[in-house]
Structure formats: C-alpha cells, structure tokens
A and B are shown apart, each in its own frame.
Chain A
Amino acid sequence: MALDAESRSRLSRLLTEHAERLTERWTGLVVASLRGRLSQAELARQVRELHRSMIDALAGGLTDLADEHGGELRAVLSELSRGRARQGFSATETAISVFAIKDALLELIEQDRDAATLRDFLALSALIDQMGLFTFESYVRTRESLIADQAEQLLELSTPVVKLWEGVVAVPLVGTLDSARAQVVMERLLQTLVDTGSPYAIIDITGVPAVDTQVAQHILKTVVAARLMGADCIISGIRPQIAQTIVALGIEFGDIATKASLADALRHVLRLTGVETTSRRARREA
C-alpha cells in the first residue's frame, strides 16, 4: 500500500500536531524495552531526531524508503542502529526503537474511527516496517564489520616472534591453529629467520589447546620450509595430554627435535651452538 500525496500530508500533519505527546510516549516505550541501559535524555534526542526526519521525508514526497526522498531518514536510521550495535544491544532491542512508533501512533488515533485514518495508518505502518528492516540490515552490517575487524586484530596479535638468544628465535603459539593462522605464523617465522639470520627456531605449542592431524600438518610444513632455508626448528611445550593425542593419532614428527618445555628446547639449542652454561654459587646477601 503506497502512500499517496493526500495521506502523506494528513500523516505529516498528524505527526506534527501531536509531536509532543507522540515522542514522549515513543520514548517511554523504548526506555521500557531497553531497561535503563541508555539514558532517557539520549533516547529522547534520538526519537525526536527520527520523528523530525520522518516528517521531513513525508513532506518531501516519500513513497518508498529506498527512493531519493528517504536519504536523510536512512542516514538517521543507520546512525541509530550503528550506535546500538556498537553498544552491544540485541537486534530486537534495536528494531523496537523504530517499531515503538506504531503503538504510540495507534493510541493517538484510536478514538478517531475514520476509515481514511485507518488506511493512512496501514500505509504508514508499511513504511515503518521498511524502516525496521533497514535498521536490522544496518545493524547486521555493523556487527559483521566488527567481527571482521576483531578477527584481523586477533591474527595480528597472536603471532609474535621473539628472540631468545643470539641466533635463536621462538614462536609461542597461543590459541587454535587454523589454516589462515598457520599461514601467517609460517610466513612471519620464516621472514624473521631471514631478517635476523637465526639458524635456530623454537615453536612453542604450550598455548595450543588441541593438536589434531591438521595442526600437526601445519607445524610440520613450517619445520620443513625452515629446513629448506637452512634453519633448524625445535618443537617445545608439548603437554602430557597432547603427547598422548599425538601418539593416538599416529602423527610422526620424524627427526624433528621435540622437547617438553621451552627451557629444555633452549638448552638443547645452546648445546648445539656450543654455548656452555655454568651455574655459579648463588650470591649470599650480607
């Protein structure tokens, strides 16, 4: 049911005449649905803004939310749902902020039993449904971009390569190792080997919650690639359960050195490079 010019003018008159009562009731409904997680003043401001741009859009000749007259209304709506999505509100709570106007409007026109008014209300209701859907879509878009950002940050955060000793670097792996992360880890480790000229690398898997055949495959590939480049890899931080899983799955590490702890791995590498560590008698405090 499209809005014709007559019902548009009637509706915008209705919205303007009862502006005060309508926004107040509307705000009240939204406040109730959000249970005080957003201040009343903030909500009242949003509702008034939405109300104002609806009147403007109707006055401008809006028939469908997607046409050129709805530009500002769409901007206000996407601004609102972006805000809600970032503040952690659910999709329903976001949509209610828009749909609440129906209840508020219905209470207004209830005493007026005119057939034309009812038609107007139905037409406006269709428009509000469109607005609600639009809100929902921008909400989802915002959420998805948030998730994508976080995934990227996680990828950057979780793969440091640290220098342990002259010519020895270590990669402490934390978290599940999927193909994308394994690729990043491999590239970063190999690049660090080239940049620092370190002939030894220790891959520490203490922080990897589970090792399956796929994870093992990724680690093995990294080790083989490092060998091709002329560096040796040692795998450390194998927890007891992980050792049992590795054996149960029949994963073969071949001639790759595996150590229980990072300390053991470092000691192993130092011995290979010919560095001797001696313990001196602890200095007594006088």
Chain B
Amino acid sequence: MERVPILKIGDILLVSIQVDMSDQTAVQLQEDLAERIVATGSHGVIIDITALDIVDSFVGRMLSAIASISKVLDAETVVVGMRPAVAITLVELGLSLNGIRTALNVERGMELIAAARADEWHEADGDEDAETTATS
C-alpha cells in the first residue's frame, strides 16, 4: 500500500499528495497525521494537491476530515496548489470544501498559518490585558 509522506518544516507539517487516493491510503494518512501532530506539537498542516488532476467528493471529504481532526488537535489546515481545472470542476459540481482554508502555493500557505497564529496570540494577549485592567 502506498503511504503519503509527512514532512516537518519548522512548526508546520507538509503533506504532498502525489498518488491517487484510495480508502486505505486516506485512512492511513489521517492516522499518521494525527500521530505526527501530537508527536511534534505542530500548529499548522499544509496539504499540497498540486499533483492531483481530479478532486472528487471522496477527496473533498477526506480533506474536510483532515481539517477537522487537525482542528481538534489545535492545528490549522491549509490546502494549497489547487489547479484551475480542479477548481472549475468543483464549482460546476457544486462541491464546496467547507471549513477548509486554501492558498495558492506552499509559501502563501505558510504565511496564512503564521498570520493565523499571530492573530491567536494577539487575541490571547488582548484578553490578558483586559483581565489585568479589570483586576487593577
């Protein structure tokens, strides 16, 4: 069975899907990814689908599932590198990737995750400030 490799770059896990996804591969990927997120303590997952010619409802559901799993483990998921033809087909089919953030390429995806993290920190800081003012 083919396995999708998961690479760690700094605080981010990079998954580049280069093979046709089967049920087994998808389940294996979800398990591997969940383990790696916990093991490395990563806060961002980038799924690169540049090599995918076809994204059907199955792949769409898999991506949504990965995003949900990562969310539970406090990691932001960004799908990058969707081809124009794939996007057009998805729109024509009326499929939308709910709850998934997208970016044009890996670089933009990393920026997006960094920005999301910064927002979170900022919000947390803001809350602390509010608490301090309230107590003082």
Contact = CB atoms under 8 A, between A and B. Distances in A.
Interface of A: 186-187, 190-191, 193-194, 197-199, 221, 224-231
Contacts of B78: 230
18 contacts: A186-B88, A187-B84, A193-B84, A193-B104, A194-B84, A194-B104, A197-B105, A197-B108, A198-B104, A221-B91, A225-B88, A228-B87, A229-B87, A230-B78, A230-B80, A230-B102, A230-B108, A230-B112
A190 B88 contact: yes
Contacts of B2: none
A193 B108 CA distance: 12
A223 B101 CA distance: 15
Given A187-B88, A199-B104, A230-B108, A194 B83 contact: yes
Given A186-B88, A225-B87, A228-B91, 11 more contacts: A190-B84, A194-B83, A197-B107, A197-B108, A221-B91, A221-B92, A224-B96, A226-B87, A228-B86, A229-B82, A230-B101
Contact of A225 (B80, B90, B108): B90
B97 interface: yes
Interface string B103-129: 111011100100000000000000000
A190 B86 CA distance: 10
B83 A228 contact: no
B104 A225 contact: no
Contact of B104 (A221, A224, A231): A231
A225 B91 CA distance: 6
A193 B105 CA distance: 10
Nearest to B88: A225
A4 to B, nearest CB: 64
Nearest to A193: B104
A186 B91 CA distance: 11
A171 to B, nearest CB: 14
Contacts of A226: 87
B97 A228 contact: yes
A186 B86 CA distance: 12
Contacts of A191: 84
Given A186-B88, A221-B91, A225-B88, A230 B82 contact: yes
Contacts of A224: 91, 96
Contacts of A194: 83-84, 104
Contact of A229 (B84, B92, B112): B84
A227 B84 CA distance: 11
A79 B73 CA distance: 76
* Interface-central residue, B79, B88, B103, by most chain A CB under 10 Å: B88
A186 B83 CA distance: 12
Nearest to A221: B91
Contact of A227 (B102, B108, B109): B102
A224 to B, nearest CB: 5
B89 to A, nearest CB: 9
Contact of B103 (A187, A199, A225): A199
B48 to A, nearest CB: 12
A263 B35 CA distance: 49
B96 A229 contact: no
Nearest to B108: A199
